[in-house]
């Protein structure tokens, strides 16, 4: 493979990018000045070193100092009684854009394919259980909202998370809810508009 093909392959591995788009990216880069390419390469090179995962919710954030918590987790005005579980960072961003949720978050970091035999290796379920227990023991957790995409894989993941949390729900008297109607079947959370998300949150069950 020559360099054009190799770079096309790299772009093609990005979420939602097909080979035609990937090719267009490469030709676009070839039209840009070298300084812009250098800047892009440098940003990519420095990305990991400048971004951290929040020690509570696991979202990516850019720390200003040595803080371990993201802005949302560190915000005393957020409702500590609510914990909303999402698959990935872009889903969390989509919910924040909806402006109708004021609780805390947890990013699972993946989802579980239907009939998967090792679900516990696909998502941060152990970490979620530890967090739920800790919050429940502090006495401030009332509800865990499972907010996953309305796809077979999303439903499968939601069911698994619900089963795993069930014993703690009984023990600590926490409700476990899922997003209600509003998200049509097959829809990915990250692409849902703010109104749809608000209504799905409002109608959680
Ligand atoms: Zn956080």
Chain segment 133-157, per-residue pLDDT in tens: 999 998 889 999 999 988 889 999 9
Ligand 1 center–CA 180 separation, angstroms: 25
Sole residue written with tokens 């005393």: 76
CA of 76 relative to ligand 1 center, distance in Å: 12
Distance 55 CA to ligand 1 centre (A): 7
Backbone angles phi and psi of 47, in degrees to 5 = -55, -55
Least confident of 73-87, 102-116, 168-182: 168-182
The pLDDT assigned to 182 comes to 64
Helix (H) or strand (E) holding 81: strand 79-86
Tell me the CA–centroid distance for residue 97 and ligand 1, in Å: 16
Residues in the chain: 205
Query: For strand 60-61 and strand 52-53, is the pairing parallel, antiparallel, or unpaired?
Result: antiparallel
* Ligand 1 center–CA 32 separation, angstroms: 37
Average pLDDT of the residues in 65-84: 94
Cβ-proximal residues to 9 (8 Å cutoff; 6+ apart), any chain: 1, 22
pLDDT tens track for 20-46? 999 999 999 999 999 999 999 999 999
Q: What is the pLDDT of residue 124?
A: 95
Q: How far apart are the first and last CA of the chain?
A: 52
Tokens 């802005």 correspond to: 71
Nearest Cα to Cα of residue 107 among 147, 50, 68, 163: 147
Distance 53 CA to ligand 1 centre (A): 8
């Amino acid at each position: 493979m020559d360099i054009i093909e190799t770079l096309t392959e790299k772009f093609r591995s990005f979420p939602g990018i097909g080979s035609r788009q990937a090719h267009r990216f490469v030709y676009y880069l070839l039209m840009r000045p070298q300084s812009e390419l250098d800047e892009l390469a440098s940003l990519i090179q420095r990305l990991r070193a400048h971004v951290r995962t929040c020690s509570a919710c696991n979202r990516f954030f850019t720390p200003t100092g040595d803080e371990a918590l993201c802005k949302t987790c560190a915000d005393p005005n957020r409702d500590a009684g609510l914990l909303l579980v999402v698959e990935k960072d872009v889903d969390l961003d989509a919910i924040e854009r909806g402006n109708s949720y004021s609780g805390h978050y947890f990013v699972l970091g993946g989802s579980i394919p239907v009939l998967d035999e090792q679900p516990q290796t696909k998502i941060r379920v152990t970490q979620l259980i530890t967090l739920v227990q800790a919050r429940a023991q502090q006495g401030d957790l009332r509800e865990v909202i499972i907010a996953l995409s309305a796809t077979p894989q999303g439903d499968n993941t939601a069911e698994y998370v619900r089963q795993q949390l069930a014993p703690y729900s009984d023990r600590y008297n926490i409700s476990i809810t899922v997003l209600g109607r509003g998200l049509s079947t097959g829809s990915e959370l990250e692409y849902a508009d703010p109104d749809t998300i608000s209504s799905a949150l409002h109608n959680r069950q």
